[in-house]
Structure 1
């Protein structure tokens, strides 16, 4: 894959790649190395899958991967990341794009959408938060970040396995190598230190682009309440809580993730199958009984659970499906053939 180079307004060189055709989707980075990431089988499949429906743009943020390593370590806040994104869009001749904000890049995507509404079609947000300190609160994350300047190689291995859930096979080894070669310990430490001060929550009401907020994380990662609040605070947002516990996209259920993201980017739709798939197995059982016409008491008797537990499941179902009550939930279920 050919790597091109853009120059940011402050002279920093940003490496990027473009592949595929169709509506533009820019996958915004955290610590990245786009050339090394192609060696990870799951990511390679994701890139090629997205490129079948979209013009996919990948890039390395300043100080990482193919981009300049000679940077000002005191200038790694949201303004610097905005300069990187703008440089790539301008160099590639892209006037309008959808943005996939991934982990560190969620706040940058939101800020850019607030400032440049004419340039943002849609937002897909995963793994980060508008107030980045919230994304760094989990104990496992804090323990991992403490390794950055203590043992860089151990940090890379732990980031690939314990943090992001990759296994010890080929994908895990290549993911660790991508982390290891993404940057230097000094730059990584500065990146994470700057991230703690990034907070774009005040800008959320100004984000006009439709947003798809995705969550698939274990209890050791960012609490789901952070994403529920983000979706509620954006003017036009939909939250999909994905089944599973691996805190990545395109790995645990790659076909479903690709369908969800490309459907939203290409047509602005969130498929019923994807939304229904976000329900837990027990929530699906409750919805089936609801669609069969059972009362809450009958659902509880059939499933062997208390009525207040049925009510809690129904509240979760309504929220995940984006509906307001029983009738709408039943109609949704029947149209989705649950």
Structure 2
């Protein structure tokens, strides 16, 4: 894979009810679909933290992004915004990319859709990572802070976008927050967003949880007040192979607060099924390598060339070079020989 420059090309999948769904594909390896909430994938690439997340995940896997019906670059003339409609969007994208098996990253309102798809298609879903949603979506949307925010949708769309980005999602201030707000602002019309949130609140897949066989990692921010931890715990307990991990921090979003650790954990989960929260790096503290960097280091230490490492891991030689450069920097080494010596001293296996 070549390094991502600019914005990836937008493709279109056609749903069974004839809605054009905009999607992008970057990277190589296992297919992971980052399912949308209220989205605009083209604008989201201009958010520095999100771009970093997309690029980091696509180092290890084929990352697929898409806009749900009525949002972003997808078809805007839609009537049905219920669960069945969102399932049609996902199915259309999976068919368009020709994937037999996928991982699902269900974010916010997409959590219910991910659960429903995994329950109906156990042979096609390898693993799921869920964050910010619930089996009964109204439970994730009921806190007073969330309801106050949603009341702004029709009253003041610009204020809603700004408040959603800064106050509710915790993007703070600066370029990230401003660009997230712009992504919200351009994701949909206020009228469609109103209907979209109303339909989301009606989604209830609690009866489907025990039909999900895919290993499922549910993440929750420990101090986030928008969604009670009990909601995330019920979701993890409800699926057959669910695991709840409570992350440090208070922002109800991933890949911002502790972004590097979130990304390492997500990548490790999708690649190996291993659940491990990487500690934040501290001066003089232990060196933190991602799951893929560990694999590259292990193979480099056996004397394999970059081409052989790429073949063994099913990634491109360019991607191996990027991982090698990153791990050299983290280890403070300058060559394959020094990296091999570090691996031997520290027992990398």
2:62 is aligned to: 55
Aligned to 1:248: 253
**Distance (whole Å) between structure 2 residues aligned to residue 228 and residue 118 of structure 1:** 25
> Could you tell me the TM-score, scaled by structure 1's length?
0.79
The equivalent residue for 1:194 is: 199
Equivalence for 1:76:
81
Aligned residue pairs, count: 273
C-alpha distance in 2 between matches for 1:167 and 1:196 = 26
C-alpha contact (below 8 Å) 2:15/2:21 kept by paired residues:
yes
Unmatched 5+ stretches in structure 2: 1-7, 281-349
Deviates more, 1:76-85 or 1:215-224: 215-224
Could you tell me how far apart the structure 1 residues matched to 2:222 and 2:175 are? 22
Please name the residue that 1:114 is paired with: 119
Gaps of 5+ in 1: 278-338
Match of 1:230 among 215, 221, 235: 235
Q: TM-score if structure 2 supplies the norm length?
A: 0.77
2:49 to 42, 55, 65: 42
- Establish whether residue 28 from structure 1 lines up as the match of residue 40 from structure 2: no
Deviation track 1:76-101 (CA, whole Å, cap 9, x = no partner) reads: 11100000000000011111100000
Change beyond 3 A, Cα 1:45–1:219: closer
Could you say which residue in structure 1 is the equivalent of 2:16? 9
Q: Is the Cα contact below 8 Å between 1:217 and 1:246 reproduced in 2? A: no
Distance change >3 Å, CA 219–CA 257, structure 1 → 2: closer
Aligned to 2:92: 87
**2:308 aligned partner:** none
In the alignment, the residues of structure 1 paired with residue 231 and residue 49 of structure 2 have an alpha-carbon distance, to the nearest angstrom, of 27
Superposed CA offset, 1:46-81 (max 9, x none):
000000011000000000001001111xx1111000
Q: How does 1:50-199 map to 2 (within 5 A)?
A: 50-72=57-79, 75-199=80-204
Shift of 1:219: 4.6
Return the offset for 1:217: 5.6
- What is the rounded CA distance, in whole Å, between the counterparts of 1:166 and 1:263 in structure 2? 25
Give the conservation status (yes or no) of the 8 Å contact 2:134–2:232.
yes
From 215, 222, 240, the equivalent of 1:210 is 215
> What RMSD, in angstroms, separates the aligned Cα atoms of the two structures?
1.1
| Aligned structure 1 segments of 4 or more residues deviating by more than 2 angstroms | 217-220
> For 1:97 and 1:192, how far apart are their aligned partners in 2?
27
- The secondary structure found in structure 2 opposite 1:149 is helix
In structure 1, what is the Cα distance between the partners aligned to 2:43 and 2:202?
29
The answer to whether the 8 Å contact 1:139/1:220 transfers is no
Identify the residue that residue 266 of structure 1 maps to in structure 2.
Answer: 271
